[in-house]
């Protein structure tokens, strides 16, 4: 007769004698506490939503949308981002964490310890670890690089963009290669009969180092790389704005960069506009006059990288190139070509000029339109303008101004180094030379 398989006891395992091998206590009080916590955590956001509370954009990106079931496995990987962004009390939680951290440790909670991300004021890409630095992502955007900080918190409330240090310590290209590629672009433009000007705005950490903390990731290699970088930039014939910015700071009595933003103030935009115009036509700005006419307040770009919000206020100026007529324009988005045409005045460059730059061109756009009577501004990092359209803007210009912020040069984060673009540009400009 076959032996019946053993059966589990007919009672709950918690009711078995303690000596029994299958005995498991209930832990009823702990289970109830855990259940209450879970209900509160998941139900509270839902109830807040029902009663009108909505999550806000507290970081440098739009709120993540609910992933589509048609995305396959990406549906599951996209859920955490959506769930995190939809927490209506997240901003308050971040503020509470900061308050506790400030009270206990004397510093803000480190919300950005995981390294840089693709959301930042300016694209840039650190390299893979080890070996010869090589281009990644075409040099168009930062990758996570553990150990560096997105935002370096200095004294007196000053914040610095961590890529300033990371770009010098972990570049995606050697500086010599970056300079060689820019010289190649210059040769392509000049061989077609066009004028080429290269302008390099310095990083805030270069111009206002006095508020940097005593120690932060990358400090030593950043400082060691700064002088060699500018020596090569100056040797390549770039327009170095450091001295003019220092003079503006001396006259104003304060830095021309914002404490909580990686960009300069409107005074920096005036400096760039004047230096660029003089590089194209030396002495053209001798008749310039300008003065403050108001102010405006907008969101600063560094606090969102810490999960916070902050504003910056700019003094706005008029710009009278002939000493009489105000030709200052407005701050313009340059993801697509922005064209500014007007009757040329004394003190303005009349040649058809393309400024091919980054966010510092956008921050200076109000005053560039007062310096050039026939101007096109376009971002080199945009995906809203095709490569063919960008090349057409080169063809339609007599002068090409390339503007690249210091960190993009030191890190090699410049997408127009693509061989396909350079070869297409060379061929197109050769077909349309200036006589």
The phi, psi pair for 366, rounded to 5°, reads -55, -40
Report the pLDDT value the prediction gives residue 114, as an integer from 0 to 100.
43
Lowest mean pLDDT among 90-94, 308-312, 322-326: 90-94
Helix (H, G, I), strand (E, B) or coil at 312: strand
Whether 73 is in a domain gets the answer no
Position 143 confidence tier, pLDDT thresholds 50, 70, 90: very low
Per DSSP, helices labelled H in 51-89 are: 74-85
Largest CA distance in the chain: 114
Contact 276, 239 (CB under 8 A): yes
The whole-number average pLDDT for the span 41-59 is 62
DSSP 293: E
Report the pLDDT value the prediction gives residue 307, as an integer from 0 to 100.
87
d(CA 298, CA 262): 13
Contact 349, 327 (CB under 8 A): no
Whether 94 is in a domain gets the answer no
Lowest mean pLDDT among 96-100, 165-169, 302-306, 355-359: 96-100
The whole-model pTM stands at 0.73
Whether 59 is in a domain gets the answer no
Report the pLDDT value the prediction gives residue 298, as an integer from 0 to 100.
94
Position 188 confidence tier, pLDDT thresholds 50, 70, 90: very high
Contact 175, 421 (CB under 8 A): no
Is the predicted pLDDT of residue 47 greater than 70, yes or no?
A: no
Per DSSP, helices labelled H in 106-241 are: 163-169, 175-191, 204-207, 219-235
Q: H-helix or E-strand containing 228?
A: helix 219-235
d(CA 267, CA 241): 12
d(CA 278, CA 349): 9
Other CB atoms within a 10 A radius of the CB of residue 148 amount to 24
The token duo for 322 is: 């002939």
Task: Tell me which residue of 396, 412, 394 sits closest to 356, measured CA to CA.
Answer: 394
Position 135 confidence tier, pLDDT thresholds 50, 70, 90: very low
Contact 239, 198 (CB under 8 A): yes
Task: Tell me which residue of 238, 241, 311, 233 sits closest to 270, measured CA to CA.
Answer: 241
Whether 301 is in a domain gets the answer yes
DSSP 161: E
Whether 345 is in a domain gets the answer yes
Between 370 and 97, the more confident residue is 370
Is the predicted pLDDT of residue 383 greater than 70, yes or no?
A: yes
Between 236 and 63, the more confident residue is 236
d(CA 423, CA 64): 38
Q: Which domain holds residue 399?
A: 151-431
Q: H-helix or E-strand containing 142?
A: none
Sheet holding 374-379, edge to edge: 239-240, 195-200, 399-403, 353-357, 374-379, 338-341
Report the pLDDT value the prediction gives residue 56, as an integer from 0 to 100.
59
Report the pLDDT value the prediction gives residue 147, as an integer from 0 to 100.
76
Whether 86 is in a domain gets the answer no
Is the predicted pLDDT of residue 104 greater than 70, yes or no?
A: no
**Dihedral of CA 70/75/81/86: which sign?**
positive
The whole-number average pLDDT for the span 101-115 is 53
Whether 267 is in a domain gets the answer yes
DSSP 284: G
Position 8 confidence tier, pLDDT thresholds 50, 70, 90: low
Position 123 confidence tier, pLDDT thresholds 50, 70, 90: very low
Contact 226, 233 (CB under 8 A): no
Residue identified by tokens 């006891």 is 9
Q: H-helix or E-strand containing 399?
A: strand 399-403
The token duo for 107 is: 């510093």
- What percent of the chain shows pLDDT beyond 70? 68
Position 6 confidence tier, pLDDT thresholds 50, 70, 90: low
Lowest mean pLDDT among 77-81, 316-320, 402-406: 77-81
d(CA 110, CA 418): 36
Residue identified by tokens 């077909």 is 431
Contact 357, 380 (CB under 8 A): yes
CA dihedral 423, 424, 430, 435 (to 10 degrees): -120
Report the pLDDT value the prediction gives residue 36, as an integer from 0 to 100.
79
The token duo for 378 is: 């376009």
The whole-number average pLDDT for the span 66-86 is 62
- Measured distance between the N- and C-terminal CA atoms of the chain, rounded to whole angstroms: 108
The whole-number average pLDDT for the span 130-158 is 60
Total domains present in the chain: 1
DSSP 282: T
The token duo for 72 is: 């396959």
Report the pLDDT value the prediction gives residue 408, as an integer from 0 to 100.
96
Report the pLDDT value the prediction gives residue 52, as an integer from 0 to 100.
62
Whether 67 is in a domain gets the answer no
Is the predicted pLDDT of residue 27 greater than 90, yes or no?
A: no
Report the pLDDT value the prediction gives residue 435, as an integer from 0 to 100.
74
Is the predicted pLDDT of residue 84 greater than 80, yes or no?
A: no
Mean pLDDT of the chain: 83
């Amino acid at each position: 007769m076959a032996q019946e398989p053993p059966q589990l006891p007919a009672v709950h395992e918690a009711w078995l004698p303690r000596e029994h091998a299958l005995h498991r206590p209930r832990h009823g009080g702990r289970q109830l506490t855990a259940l209450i916590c879970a209900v509160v955590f998941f139900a509270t956001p839902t109830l807040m939503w029902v009663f009108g509370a909505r999550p806000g954009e507290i970081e440098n990106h739009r709120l993540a949308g609910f992933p589509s079931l048609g995305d396959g496995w990406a549906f599951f990987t996209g859920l955490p981002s959506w769930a995190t962004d939809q927490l209506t009390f997240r901003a308050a939680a971040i503020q509470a964490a900061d308050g506790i951290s400030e009270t206990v440790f004397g510093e803000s909670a480190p919300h950005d310890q995981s390294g840089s991300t693709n959301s930042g004021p300016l694209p840039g890409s650190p390299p893979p670890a080890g070996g010869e630095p090589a281009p990644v992502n075409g040099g168009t955007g930062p990758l996570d690089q553990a150990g560096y900080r997105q935002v370096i918190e200095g004294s007196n409330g000053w914040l610095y963009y961590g890529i300033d240090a990371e770009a010098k310590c972990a570049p995606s290209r050697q500086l010599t290669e970056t300079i060689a590629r820019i010289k190649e672009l210059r040769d392509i433009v000049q061989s077609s009969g066009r004028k080429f000007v290269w302008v390099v705005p310095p990083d805030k950490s270069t111009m206002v180092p006095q508020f940097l903390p005593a120690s932060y990731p990358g400090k030593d290699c950043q400082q060691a790389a700064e002088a060699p970088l500018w020596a090569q930039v100056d040797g390549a014939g770039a327009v170095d704005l450091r001295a003019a910015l220092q003079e503006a700071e001396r006259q104003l009595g304060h830095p021309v960069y914002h404490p909580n933003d990686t960009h300069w103030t409107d005074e920096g935009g005036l400096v760039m506009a004047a230096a660029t115009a003089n590089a194209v036509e030396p002495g053209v700005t001798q008749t310039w006059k300008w003065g403050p006419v108001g102010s405006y307040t907008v969101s600063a770009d560094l606090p969102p990288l810490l999960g916070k919000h902050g504003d910056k206020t700019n003094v706005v100026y008029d710009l009278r190139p002939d000493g009489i007529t105000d030709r200052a324009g407005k701050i313009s988005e340059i993801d697509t070509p922005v064209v500014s045409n007007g009757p040329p005045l004394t003190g303005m460059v009349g040649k058809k000029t393309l400024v091919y730059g980054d966010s510092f061109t956008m921050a200076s756009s109000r005053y560039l339109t007062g310096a050039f009577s026939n101007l096109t501004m376009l971002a080199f990092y945009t995906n809203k303008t095709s490569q063919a359209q960008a090349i057409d803007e080169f063809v339609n210009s007599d002068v090409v101004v390339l503007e690249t912020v210091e960190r993009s040069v030191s890190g090699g984060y410049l997408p127009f180094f693509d061989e396909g673009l350079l070869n297409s540009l060379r061929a197109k400009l050769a077909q349309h030379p200036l006589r």
